[in-house]
Structure 1
Amino acid sequence: MMNYYPIKNTVALRGCYSPRLKMFMMCFLLISTSFGSAHVSGQTETVKGIVLDAGDKSPIIGAAILVKGTSIGTTTDIDGNFTIANVPSSAKVLQVSYIGMKEQEVDVAPVLNIILQPDLLQIDEVIVVAYGTSKKSSFTGAASLVKAEKLGERPVTNVTNALVGAVAGVQVSTANGQPGSEPSIYIRGIGSYGASNSPLIILNGMPYENTISSINPNDIESLTVLKDASSSALYGSRAANGVVMITTKTGTKEKVSVNVKFNQGVTAKQTSDYRKAGLNDYVSLYWENLRNRYVSDGKSAAEAGQLAAAGLFTDLPNPFNVPNNQVVDNNGQVNPNAKHLWADDVDWMNAIQQLGNRTDAAVSVSGASDKTDYYASAGFTNEEGYVIGSKFKRYTINGNVNSQVKNWLKIGFNTSANLSATDGNQNEAIGNNTNPFRFVRYIGPVHPIHLHNLETGEYLRDESGNLIYDFGTGYSINGVTIPIRNYVSGNNPAIELQNNYDGNKRNTINAKVYTEIKLPEGFKLSLNGSVGANSYLASAADIVYPDKGISGSMTKTNTFTTTWTFNELLSYTKDIDKHHIDVLAGHESYDYEYNYLSSSMKDQKFDGNFEFGNYSNLNTTPDSYTNKYATEGFLSRFNYDYDSQYFLSGSFRRDGSSRFYTDSRWGNFWSVGGGWRIDKEEFMAGIDFIDILKLRASYGEVGNDNVGSYYPWRGTYKVAQNAGEAGYIQNILENKTLKWEVSHNSDAALEFSLLNGKYSGSVEYFNRLSGNLLFAVPLSPSTGVNSQDMNAGTMYNRGIEVELSAKLLQKKDFSWSASLNATYLKNRITALPVDPFISDVHKIEEGHSRYEYWLRQWKGVDPATGSSLYVPLEEILGSSTSLVTVNGETYTTSATEALYDYSGTATPKVSGGLSTNFTYGHFNLGLVFYYQLGGKMYDIAYSYLMSPGVSTIASLYPSALHADMLNRWQKPGDITSVPRISTVESADLTATTSTRWLISSDMLELSSINLGYDFPKQWIHTLDISGLRLYGSADNVFQITKRQGTYPRRNIFSGYSDNGDVYLPSRVFTIGLNITF
């Protein structure tokens, strides 16, 4: 308790404040008082006063004033004033508190003028770290904290999405917009080539193997990201890619608090589609394509134009009301009298989309007594995606109880259960035309969704009067013959998404129990145990489609995963004068078991029944297996500080993993770190504007045993046949020397806080050197296998992280704060066990980035011929007939004679986030932006839309075309970046891989916006409500990219844009109500 002195009923307390924290404290106080049970009798009096900030003497909104020993209290209003009626005459002391301020106790008086001072200990936040907690100022590692209030009311089903732009060094790749899907998290780049790059997830101190979407974001108190070895080495063999620590809420208030939260919203597609050529332009473009084909076959331009006009719709449905040979003239212009017969039935993209609904509800009860705190919650989420049939439903319950049973004994448990169901998982196989996203992206506008009379355009209907979907297989109905569709005949996603079923159900349970025993002389023993169980059933059904020759099938896959974790931790703390010692030693065991069973049946008997009994025949042979995995670890940690000014830390863990052979099973992982609070030095005396100035550095080694297979060292065999006889052949060669990948991490940072926390931040350098990288090394054919996994490669990720926060403006009824983070990242491969090799559009070679492009060097379009121009191979100079000279430079028009070269990297050079918050009275507005700069993406979807495809004159392949095709070369002298349209030289003019398809991956995304109103306390206190907030929010609001239709954050590191084949993220709008009793 602080000393104070009254001067005319004035208490000096110096401080700064945040309006967001004021709102929080208003809720806090009313929660703690509205349920009070203290009975006060006798004479009472009224106390009035004002609470001011010591720095600028501005009023503090939401400061808590409580009569000590009772539940009587209030909070300051917008002018900093307060009034407490019915104060017992026996009351002597008022407790004054506010987050960011030092708590005060003042003598009761009729009128008080209270001035608050800052509490630097609160500016110095507490973070959750490996096997404990630490003050930020004394921690020697790299860790970033995201508190619950920063998660706000963002409509996220998976809390991982709330990390977008929130933490320096952390990038979130949203590869799939399916509701309930799991984004990928990357911490300080890509540290492995052939093994996992995912961080270790720790839930309430224990490893977590279930999906993060199983955790209700409303239950999360904080996320801590551990980024360097000093912070993560205690997790040993599983921490090479960093650690994300999730801490759920506990009871913290003395009285019962009930919180109810409900929001309702809609989902829609976030990104606009690529711009496509409309029907008339599309027809003219394909006429020109066909005309150029005839010219290449030796026809004159006039004759070629006539033949193209006459034959354009030979194998295509004519969507116009004029005969085939009258749709276009000999110059490719569409007949002005031609009317599109099914113009309202060609929006395939819209046909598979909807405006989805999203509902989220949560209720929690929390409280605490002198010895026990508790938190219990239940949640429900129901989200429909913007794609028809896609949805996610989740039910969660969570309970957390902690009790100080004796002065020397504390026990507690945390348990959570989740039931979720996902429907509408789509076939997202890249390059597969049955993929609905690919289908609707590339189908041309001549093809209708339903069957139509080709002469009148009328919809054709079945015997029940229903519209008939066109599967493109050719029809003869009511005397009308419909030709086979040249584009992906046999599919129609508009109806398939409605009827087919592809979904899963997941049930998860996680439970943790612990006991803490205080021992003499500063020792403490902590015993922890947790169990996780995950049941997962995936089902995929094709309904009967006679026109497709499909008789109906059902595939079911069931998995069951269990995990067990136990650790025993002995800690010792000791303070000797200015010396503080903290030592930890422990043991941890982890067991994982995964059971798999799958089978498939076909030939459906009745509609609507998806059980195996409704199918007649086996479709595929049933399959089952079990994977087991275990680790054993012995760990220790030593922390020392002198006078909270000089800090030294060290950690060591020895881990054994069942993934490796006995002789290679054990590994040692360690770290050392140091810190220096410069602001506490004598030479800093008198520099009052610096609160904290700290220099820290660390080095250590952590491991990655997640190398794919659970038995990677074992030699395995598979069943095969030869001349009709079954037998076993070698599948994987034994490798007893296979071992962990190791990450050697070094880190140095300068942290600061200025002007009582008005400005704060850090600048940090990191170098992450990954060794023993897993590579599939090619072997001689005589071995019987193509390759063998070996530890033989190194790669580094190094860069600079910057985090800055500022309270930019603090006025009586208005405040403005902002935070910025930025990460500069450089990736290099430094050693390879094999010769350089090509991986998609990248080349893997020493001295270059893991995701550096290796492409033909495209240089534009020849103004004379409309051909693509490439940098030629040196060996063809002076001899090839493909060489041309343009503006004094020599090029080749042949893609096969073009030079390949490095062409930039997919990895953004700089990425980060910007968040800003405004408060005006009881209104508050928050925005979160994400940005990335300096990378490139290979836009394969655009390349397809810019290419008419390879076709013959008799069989045109009518895929959609991008609107940029209107800028194509058409005649000598045209200056353009789009070659002539032709399928003759498809390798040179169409989607051939080259730098033509590289664009900047720079983007700015408004990730989140939240506008809320906190009802004044004086309006709601008569309703026994301590907090009432109305808000509206939006997620994935908009993005600015180089080209419409692209989404660079899907593949942040590989940069391979297959946006046409995937379920892109949703834009979500919600309104909500948050009530606290």
Structure 2
Amino acid sequence: MKSQEVGIKPKVNVVLEGDNQMLDEVMVVAYGTAKKSSFTGSASTISNEKLELRPITNLTKGLEGQATGLLTTSGSGQPGEDASIVIRGYGSINASQDPLYVVDGIPFDGSLSSINPSDIESMTVLKDASAGALYGARGANGVVMITTKQGKEGKAQVTWRSTVGWASRAIQPYDMVDQKEFVQLTYEALRNGYVFNSGYSWEQAQQMARAGLSANLGGELYNPFKNYTWDNLINPETGMVQADAVSAWNERWMDAVQRDNAFRQEHQLSVNGGSEKTKYMFSLGYLNEDGILINTGFQRYNARVNVNSNITDWFKANMNASLSNSVQDYSDYDGSSTSNVWYSAQFVSPLFPVYVKGLDGKNVLGEDGKPQLDYGENGRPGSYTDYNPVGGLTDDKSNKKNDVASLRTGVTFGSDKDNFGVFKGIKLNVNFGLDYRNQSRMSYMNMYHGNQATAGGLLTKYNTRMQSYTFNQLLSWNRSFGLHSFDVLAGHEFYAYSYEYLKAGKTNLVDGILELRPGTTLYAADSYTDKYRIESWLGRFNYNYDEKYYFSASLRTDGSSRFHKDHRWGTFWSIGGNWRISKEAFMEDVKWIDNLSLKLSYGQQGNDNILNSDKTSNYYLWQSLYDLDWPNSNQIGGMVSSLENQVVSWEKNGNLNVGVEATFLGSRLSVNAEYYNRKTVDMLLSYPMATSTGFNGYNANVGDMRNSGFEFEIRGTAIRTDDFVWNISWMGSTVKNKVLKLTNTAPEIIKGVYSIKEGMPINTFYMAKSAGVDPATGAQLYWVYDKDENGNIINERISDDYSKASTSKYYQGNRIPDLYGSIGTDFSYKGFDLSVLTSYSIGGKIYDSLYTGSMNAQYATNTWNKHQLRRWQKPGDITDVPRVEINGAYTTTDRFLINASYFAIKNITLGYSLPKDWMRKAKLGNVRVFGSIDNLALFSHLKGMDPQYNFKGETDYSYTPNKTYSFGVEINF
């Protein structure tokens, strides 16, 4: 409520008035600002206070749970990596899903990891066409407006903020079997192979399996049970590992490659101040974050200067500039390669030691008196020969060095003052933005062990250089006449982008010299340059009658160099309205409602940011492309690799938004609810062609898709006294996706375990269906079927024929959750403050390929998940886990589709601000100390699985997210 002053009287009647500060909140929107109460579009604002609660390196990882309709992934836990974001569902099949990032009014092309989150004043997420249509072709997937801190009038204020912390893995490893369980499973897998594949009797198979342990597990050197040999480790009577077998070592590979307490430190210094005419903000930042994987990490230096100057009453100028230098050390391998540490360290046999062992099971020391890493030279079988995950992190080196510069500068002519007469409210803004990024990357694979040992090592160096600039001129006019107010904007914008790529690599290196010149064999040499231009004309009209009825309309036309000159121009538009019902006369007596607004908007946006596996053809879809490096030829020449289609043009996105906003009880309770319907038409797909033409297809605008859903946000103040305040928030969002149209000749696209089919959600799981386990044989059972001449399913039945099952696939759900969002609360009591942020997701499925691999281990050198302990072992067993079998044949089924629901405690922060009278005596402005736990806990349906890894519903052998404990202090002078 508003505070009011009253005179001293015997009797005082006081009528409380609502505090409209929440309604008068000014948001940064496209090409300007807007009051929340007058805004016709859909937007969410995130303050710097929310971002500063979390020890984040990249601002994208601080967005989760902060805005409705915004779905984030955990991505890689590698320090410095971005998280991925989608706003209101999937905008396209082949085009980018990424939103447009705008920094201080200009689209941003630099590295997001170069932005210091402490420099950010606020972020606004624009979600519908009314909010983002002025960005035309680049705003189809939503817009994230980033506003950096500006100077404030007054004497210089100095702020120092330091945090230190320690990180460990946030998601616990999969539960894997121990050494005895592994040997038992390996024995059974060998035995079952002899019985069910080779036709041996049970007794013969048992004997052969016992005899085969040594050859499959690496000889006696790799037998940790030194009181038994491989031949007698299995008790012939029980078929079990001898009960009194004692292991000489039990080294955990994940412990060996990880840090338990990866150190993190961050220090920030900022100065702001200024006069009535000129205001400034200057900041310096330093971050050093060790990764939880040894020899990985991220280091960044930042500097920023923001200056705003009112030179005269009618002339203003501003300049925002930032510099960043960063180095990222990382592991270069991914996927299921043995050289990928996240694969090998998790799934290698627990029998294999980290360090070389003697026949007595003790470490063999090197000349330096230290244990030697075991690379498998002593007969370790399988793909792990000549490789050690710890050695992979210490012997190989990969890093990225980024130099990033960003400049935003502009001038404004005009004034809102009355003495300007007819020119009052007319302004001309001229703005220029420049982004530059130079990245040098090195990947070194050593010459002694691992993938490139036989090639004498491999050194690859990359250099990429990106620069872009935006130049716009904006003419605006805003005036009020009685109850009527309006503002008009017209402008022109030009955007130019350039990207240069260079790669070179050599093998047969000279040890210790990480330069290309000494290498004797050329491995790779590649380069290309991409240039991209957009020219735009734009306009906007906003009207307001009596702060009760609001109307807005915007129009933008873009010409993109990615399309042929006859089809490169696209026109995008939006209209929107906002009715403040609470301002109507019939609402005057409803005192408990502070504000009630109804919003409606519709518009169309475009997308030309098309993805393709061939980097060059991303941007030249309308042209024929020639390949001058085609295989199976020793002659100079070229071949047509891509057919032209000059009529290829924009993907278009129609966006409907209906919203209700309400505040109650003196702004102690606010409720926002919105419905959106987002239809993408003319999606770019490959239109199939007859193979006799020599081409698979050509690019064409043929696909349609829809996303729709609801969003709600409830915020309330449960308790508010002079000393104690308790706030609560709950956000929730839904999204329903449906592919409406593909090509006439191919109404379905199948990629692995995924299907994209007309009438179904994107990336629907398409795989065999499990029918349980045969109690007699332990075989995996499947539902299989035949098809008639019309393609209808007939003769559906249960079978153990995996080959038939691989062609009898079913549609089995997708990753899209039924509901996702966040729940947060914060308390303040005198100088103490406590905040808690949690996130949740309900529904959806994930295909966990990591779990699948550990349940279907095909080789004796790969380990198993503990769920194998409930496997079928003998005729008559009733279980859902089939028999283990070396070199067994399987097909992927829905048995490995895991419920994607989760609940996560994202952050808990406790702070204390020292009493102000203490600070005055110390001549300090404010001192706050705080502690924070980030990514504290995750509750999901499978231990080890990361349900937030990506939007597609898959997992990978990738860097796990981090849990961070941090402590800090912020001092204002």
TM-score range, shorter chain: over 0.9
**Cα 1:674/1:448, change in 2 over 3 Å:** same
Counting only pairs closer than 5 Å after superposition, residues 906-945 of structure 1 correspond to structure 2 as 906-945=815-854
Asked whether 1:451 is paired with 2:363, we answer: no
Q: 2:131 aligns with which of 231, 240, 244?
A: 231
Q: Could you tell me which amino acid in structure 2 is paired with residue 750 of structure 1?
A: V
Q: Could you tell me which amino acid in structure 2 is paired with residue 464 of structure 1?
A: D
| Structure 1 Cα separation of the partners of residues 736 and 600 of structure 2 | 20
| Structure 2 Cα separation of the partners of residues 408 and 1014 of structure 1 | 42
**Cα 1:160/1:724, change in 2 over 3 Å:** closer
Asked whether 1:853 is paired with 2:760, we answer: no
State the identity as a percent: 36
Q: Which residue of 1 aligns with 2:653?
A: 743
Deviation at 1:870, TM superposition (A): 1.8
- Secondary structure of the equivalent of 2:194? helix
- Which stretch of structure 1 is more off in the superposition, 543-552 or 1031-1040? 543-552
**CA distances 1:62-99 after superposition (whole Å, capped 9, x unpaired):** xxxxxxxxxxxxxxxxxxxxxxxxxxxxxxxxxxxxxx
**Cα 1:862/1:528, change in 2 over 3 Å:** same
**CA distances 1:990-1024 after superposition (whole Å, capped 9, x unpaired):** xx211110110001111111111111112221111
| Structure 2 Cα separation of the partners of residues 342 and 4 of structure 1 | 75
Q: Which residue of 2 aligns with 1:1071?
A: 967
Q: 1:780 aligns with which of 672, 684, 690?
A: 690
Counting only pairs closer than 5 Å after superposition, residues 924-1073 of structure 1 correspond to structure 2 as 924-949=833-858, 957-983=860-886, 985-987=888-890, 992-1051=891-950, 1053-1058=951-956, 1061-1073=957-969
Q: 1:246 aligns with which of 141, 146, 152?
A: 146
Asked whether 1:403 is paired with 2:309, we answer: yes
Q: Contact conserved, 1:143 with 1:225, CA < 8 A, in 2?
A: yes
Q: Contact conserved, 1:433 with 1:439, CA < 8 A, in 2?
A: yes
Q: Contact conserved, 2:387 with 2:449, CA < 8 A, in 1?
A: no
Counting only pairs closer than 5 Å after superposition, residues 180-259 of structure 1 correspond to structure 2 as 180-259=80-159
Deviation at 1:353, TM superposition (A): 4.0
| Structure 1 Cα separation of the partners of residues 733 and 12 of structure 2 | 42
| Structure 1 Cα separation of the partners of residues 476 and 10 of structure 2 | 45
Q: 1:301 aligns with which of 179, 187, 202?
A: 202
| Structure 1 Cα separation of the partners of residues 625 and 804 of structure 2 | 43
Deviation at 1:495, TM superposition (A): 1.3
| Structure 2 Cα separation of the partners of residues 550 and 135 of structure 1 | 64
Q: Which residue of 1 aligns with 2:519?
A: 616
| Structure 1 Cα separation of the partners of residues 888 and 502 of structure 2 | 49
Q: Could you tell me which amino acid in structure 2 is paired with residue 541 of structure 1?
A: Y
Q: Could you tell me which amino acid in structure 1 is paired with residue 675 of structure 2?
A: Y
Q: Contact conserved, 1:352 with 1:494, CA < 8 A, in 2?
A: no
| Structure 2 Cα separation of the partners of residues 11 and 786 of structure 1 | 88
**Cα 1:657/1:753, change in 2 over 3 Å:** same
Q: Contact conserved, 1:1013 with 1:1030, CA < 8 A, in 2?
A: yes
**Cα 1:963/1:357, change in 2 over 3 Å:** same
Q: Which residue of 2 aligns with 1:97?
A: none
Deviation at 1:260, TM superposition (A): 0.5
Counting only pairs closer than 5 Å after superposition, residues 332-343 of structure 1 correspond to structure 2 as 332-343=239-250
Deviation at 1:980, TM superposition (A): 1.8
| Structure 2 Cα separation of the partners of residues 759 and 11 of structure 1 | 31
**Cα 1:985/1:418, change in 2 over 3 Å:** closer
Deviation at 1:862, TM superposition (A): 2.4
Q: Which residue of 1 aligns with 2:497?
A: 592
| Structure 1 Cα separation of the partners of residues 888 and 263 of structure 2 | 48
- Which stretch of structure 1 is more off in the superposition, 382-391 or 305-314? 305-314
Q: Which residue of 2 aligns with 1:727?
A: 637
- Which stretch of structure 1 is more off in the superposition, 158-167 or 217-226? 158-167
Q: Contact conserved, 2:466 with 2:498, CA < 8 A, in 1?
A: yes
Q: Which residue of 1 aligns with 2:372?
A: 468
Q: Which residue of 2 aligns with 1:91?
A: none
Asked whether 1:361 is paired with 2:257, we answer: no
Deviation at 1:806, TM superposition (A): 0.5
Counting only pairs closer than 5 Å after superposition, residues 328-727 of structure 1 correspond to structure 2 as 328-330=234-236, 331-343=238-250, 345-428=251-334, 430-453=335-358, 455-472=359-376, 474=377, 482-518=378-414, 520-545=423-448, 548-607=453-512, 609-613=513-517, 615-708=518-611, 709-719=618-628, 720=630, 724-727=634-637
| Structure 2 Cα separation of the partners of residues 752 and 10 of structure 1 | 37
Asked whether 1:798 is paired with 2:708, we answer: yes
**Cα 1:311/1:583, change in 2 over 3 Å:** same
Q: Could you tell me which amino acid in structure 2 is paired with residue 470 of structure 1?
A: D
Q: Could you tell me which amino acid in structure 2 is paired with residue 433 of structure 1?
A: T
Count of matched residue positions in the alignment of Structure 1 and Structure 2 = 939
| Structure 2 Cα separation of the partners of residues 802 and 397 of structure 1 | 38
| Structure 2 Cα separation of the partners of residues 721 and 144 of structure 1 | 52
Q: Contact conserved, 1:174 with 1:183, CA < 8 A, in 2?
A: yes
**Cα 1:596/1:648, change in 2 over 3 Å:** same
- Which stretch of structure 1 is more off in the superposition, 596-605 or 662-671? 596-605
Q: Could you tell me which amino acid in structure 2 is paired with residue 590 of structure 1?
A: Y
| Structure 1 Cα separation of the partners of residues 100 and 528 of structure 2 | 25
Asked whether 1:320 is paired with 2:218, we answer: no
Deviation at 1:256, TM superposition (A): 1.8
| Structure 1 Cα separation of the partners of residues 257 and 497 of structure 2 | 44
Q: Give the superposed CA RMSD.
A: 2.1
**Cα 1:592/1:304, change in 2 over 3 Å:** same
Q: 2:188 aligns with which of 288, 292, 302?
A: 288
Q: Could you tell me which amino acid in structure 1 is paired with residue 680 of structure 2?
A: S
Deviation at 1:537, TM superposition (A): 0.5
Q: Which residue of 1 aligns with 2:614?
A: none
Asked whether 1:816 is paired with 2:726, we answer: yes
Deviation at 1:145, TM superposition (A): 0.3
| Structure 1 Cα separation of the partners of residues 160 and 67 of structure 2 | 29
| Structure 1 Cα separation of the partners of residues 500 and 917 of structure 2 | 58
| Structure 1 Cα separation of the partners of residues 631 and 637 of structure 2 | 6
- Which stretch of structure 1 is more off in the superposition, 680-689 or 963-972? 963-972
Q: Could you tell me which amino acid in structure 2 is paired with residue 1013 of structure 1?
A: Y
**Cα 1:137/1:970, change in 2 over 3 Å:** same
Deviation at 1:802, TM superposition (A): 0.4
Q: Could you tell me which amino acid in structure 2 is paired with residue 252 of structure 1?
A: K
Deviation at 1:294, TM superposition (A): 2.5
Unaligned runs of 5+ in 1: 15-53, 56-116, 475-481, 877-882, 884-888, 950-955
Q: Could you tell me which amino acid in structure 2 is paired with residue 485 of structure 1?
A: P
Q: Could you tell me which amino acid in structure 2 is paired with residue 339 of structure 1?
A: V
**Cα 1:984/1:249, change in 2 over 3 Å:** closer
- Which stretch of structure 1 is more off in the superposition, 404-413 or 319-328? 319-328
| Structure 2 Cα separation of the partners of residues 347 and 1023 of structure 1 | 52
Deviation at 1:150, TM superposition (A): 1.5
**Cα 1:221/1:849, change in 2 over 3 Å:** same
Deviation at 1:611, TM superposition (A): 2.6
Deviation at 1:468, TM superposition (A): 2.3
**Cα 1:529/1:970, change in 2 over 3 Å:** same
Deviation at 1:268, TM superposition (A): 1.0
Q: Which residue of 1 aligns with 2:51?
A: 151
